């Protein structure tokens, strides 16, 4: 059996870290086994689906290196859904219903007041042929519901273990809206059967969908894939992340300077019993990926965790990998190698390079504590003119030490702050040899 997985986003917005988790899990399962990975655009909603988002989804995945063996669009498969819907009607598993949202809400409230589960009462099944004609004349086309067998639906979940849901506690799902739009629950079933999907990994919020889809697949004469439901992401303090997902789109993280392997390495292990290890490639992630290591508990995601990983990646990059970024800052070729060697250990993202080059090129605004002002004035009067080399810092500080009697931190920290405007940074010997202007007060 060739393992085949899929990622099926709706092109109604930019994909975020929650979507990425689903995409990455399915991709790694397929790649680890030498199988197939399908990108399937769930674009059956013509009002909300936009080509710009479909393009953005592909661009974001390509940035990450998540490639697909083929791409499918549900909007190209409407005839298949219509044909399978007719099969269900013929089999007596599809029925039309006309309740308005208000009527359904009143029914649910009444059931809850009586201590009953708020499940659709199948009133539409009791309508005679004449009643159906009348309802169609009065209200137009109705929605189409799938008639569930009211029995327990059981499967072995790849993450959650044995699961069992009583179909009697679930409403017959609406699969086609009154306007004819095919909904995800049905389109996904037809696609998974036709495309030979063997494994489906998705969020725990789809567990009930999975139960109904297993029955729909059976009604269409097919078995079902191996399902696994990963935990949902929360914020760093356990708060709901759903309201923030719009600000955690992949393109926003990319614009913030997050390196792709930092993001992939974190998401491939987050929520599992395995420690986060910075991987060098997607193949390396696939080799060590183990779905059974993930748990059911909500998983905390902290965007801040991406930046130490990004910094580690940058520190290991050769000059050739950042030469374009450095040249864009205006760093002369003769200084590029030295600049990168000095700056690389003191940046979190590539954007930080600009600040260091400004310091070396233009100098910094001195930071001088009141008690150090006379000392700094005396020390700067002793600073030689450019050019500086690797010995400038030691020669200068030794001379200042002899003249003022200061030593240790009381000598070096005020000088660092006065020259760089910062308390931390590269070795000052390296800073001095890169300075393009003499520091002044």
Q: Does residue 133 belong to any structural domain of this protein?
A: yes
257 and 312 both lie in a single domain: yes
Is the model's pLDDT at 288 over the cut of 80?
Answer: yes
Q: Does residue 182 belong to any structural domain of this protein?
A: no
260 and 323 both lie in a single domain: no
406 and 417 both lie in a single domain: yes
Q: Which domain holds residue 387?
A: 319-434
Model pLDDT, residue 291: 95
**What are the pLDDT digits (tens) for 350-401?**
999 999 999 999 999 999 999 999 999 999 999 999 999 999 999 999 999 9
Mean of pLDDT values over 22-34: 97
Domain boundary among 277, 300, 316: 316
Percent of the chain at pLDDT > 70 equals: 99
Length of the chain: 441
310 and 341 both lie in a single domain: no
Model pLDDT, residue 417: 97
Q: Does residue 441 belong to any structural domain of this protein?
A: no
The H or E element containing residue 399 is helix 392-404
91 and 157 both lie in a single domain: yes
Task: Provide the 3-class DSSP secondary structure of residue 157.
Answer: strand
Model pLDDT, residue 79: 98
Whole-number Å distance between alpha carbons of 410 and 376: 11
Domain count, the chain: 3
Model pLDDT, residue 243: 63
Whole-number Å distance between alpha carbons of 54 and 404: 67
Instruction: Assign residue 141 the CATH number of its domain.
Output: 3.90.800.10
C-alpha triplet 316, 319, 322: angle, nearest 5°:
90
**What are the pLDDT digits (tens) for 117-142?**
899 999 999 999 999 999 999 999 99
Model pLDDT, residue 203: 94
Q: How confident is the model at residue 163 (pLDDT cuts 50, 70, 90)?
A: very high
Mean of pLDDT values over 196-208: 96
Percent of the chain at pLDDT > 90 equals: 95
Mean of pLDDT values over 31-48: 96
Q: Does residue 28 belong to any structural domain of this protein?
A: yes
Q: Does residue 245 belong to any structural domain of this protein?
A: yes
Q: Does residue 391 belong to any structural domain of this protein?
A: yes
Task: Provide the 3-class DSSP secondary structure of residue 50.
Answer: coil
Model pLDDT, residue 380: 97
Q: How distant, in Å, are the alpha carbons of 73, 236, 272, 377, 384 from that of 300?
A: 33, 5, 11, 51, 53
323 and 401 both lie in a single domain: yes
Q: Rounded mean pLDDT of the chain?
A: 95
309 and 324 both lie in a single domain: no
274 and 363 both lie in a single domain: no
Mean of pLDDT values over 44-56: 95
Mean of pLDDT values over 64-70: 98
HEC letters along 251-318: HHHHHCCCCHHHHHHHHHHCCECCCCCCCCCHHHHHHHCCHHHECCCCEECCHHHHHHHHHHHHHCCC
Q: Does residue 76 belong to any structural domain of this protein?
A: no
Q: How confident is the model at residue 433 (pLDDT cuts 50, 70, 90)?
A: very high
| Cross-sheet strand order for the sheet of 94-97 | 94-97, 143-146, 174-176
**What are the pLDDT digits (tens) for 224-262?**
999 999 999 998 888 877 666 667 899 999 999 999 999
41 and 113 both lie in a single domain: no
Instruction: Assign residue 51 the CATH number of its domain.
Output: 3.40.50.620
Closest among 346, 355, 365, 374 to 419, alpha carbons compared = 365
Q: Does residue 225 belong to any structural domain of this protein?
A: no
290 and 332 both lie in a single domain: no
Model pTM score: 0.91
| Beta pairing partners, 174 | 145
143 in Cβ contact with 177 (< 8 Å): yes
Domain boundary among 269, 299, 316: 316
428 and 348 both lie in a single domain: yes
Q: How distant, in Å, are the alpha carbons of 14, 128, 146, 170, 251 from that of 59?
A: 10, 52, 37, 38, 9
Sign of the CA dihedral with 286 first, then 291, 294, and 297 last? positive
268 and 283 both lie in a single domain: yes
Closest among 207, 213, 194, 99 to 146, alpha carbons compared = 213
| Beta pairing partners, 39 | 7, 71
How many helical (H) and strand (E) elements, i.e. helices and strands, does the chain have? 18, 12
Give the pairing of strands 299-300 and 161-166. unpaired
């Amino acid at each position: 059996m060739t393992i085949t997985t899929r990622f099926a986003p709706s092109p109604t917005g930019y994909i975020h870290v929650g979507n990425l988790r689903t995409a990455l899990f399915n991709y790694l399962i397929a790649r680890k086994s030498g199988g197939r990975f399908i990108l399937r655009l769930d674009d059956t909603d013509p009002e909300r689906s936009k080509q710009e988002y479909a393009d953005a989804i592909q661009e974001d995945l390509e940035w990450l290196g998540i490639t697909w063996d083929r791409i499918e669009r549900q909007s190209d498969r409407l005839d298949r859904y219509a044909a399978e819907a007719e099969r269900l009607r013929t089999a007596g598993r599809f029925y039309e219903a006309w309740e308005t949202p208000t009527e359904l809400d009143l029914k649910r409230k009444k059931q809850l007041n009586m201590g009953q589960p708020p499940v659709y009462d199948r009133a539409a099944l009791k309508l005679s042929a004449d009643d159906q004609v009348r309802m169609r004349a009065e209200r137009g086309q109705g929605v189409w519901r799938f008639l569930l067998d009211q029995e327990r639906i059981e499967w072995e979940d790849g993450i959650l273990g044995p699961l069992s849901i009583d179909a009697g506690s679930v409403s017959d799902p609406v699969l086609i809206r009154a306007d004819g739009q095919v909904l995800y629950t049905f389109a996904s079933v037809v696609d998974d059967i036709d495309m030979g999907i063997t494994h489906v990994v998705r969020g725990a919020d789809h567990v009930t969908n999975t139960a109904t889809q297993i029955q729909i697949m059976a009604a269409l004469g097919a078995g079902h894939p191996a399902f696994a439901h990963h935990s949902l992401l929360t914020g760093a303090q356990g708060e709901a992340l759903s309201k923030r997902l719009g600000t955690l789109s992949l393109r926003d993280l990319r614009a913030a300077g997050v390196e792709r392997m930092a993001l992939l390495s974190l998401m491939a292990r987050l929520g599992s019993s395995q420690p986060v290890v910075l991987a060098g490639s997607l193949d390396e992630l696939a080799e060590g990926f183990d779905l059974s290591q993930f748990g059911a508990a909500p998983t905390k995601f902290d965007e801040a965790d991406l930046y130490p990983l990004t910094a580690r990646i940058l520190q290991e990059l050769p000059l050739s990998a950042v030469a374009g970024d450095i040249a864009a800052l205006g760093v002369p070729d003769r200084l590029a190698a030295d600049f990168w060697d000095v700056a690389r250990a003191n940046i979190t993202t590539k954007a930080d390079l600009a600040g260091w080059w400004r310091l070396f090129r233009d100098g910094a605004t001195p930071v001088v504590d009141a008690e150090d002002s006379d000392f700094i004035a005396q020390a700067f009067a002793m600073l030689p003119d450019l050019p500086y080399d690797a010995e400038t810092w030691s020669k200068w500080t030794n001379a200042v030490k002899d003249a003022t009697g200061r030593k240790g931190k009381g000598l070096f920290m005020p000088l660092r702050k006065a020259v760089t405007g910062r308390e931390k940074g590269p070795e000052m010997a390296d800073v001095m040899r890169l300075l393009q202007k003499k520091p002044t007060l």
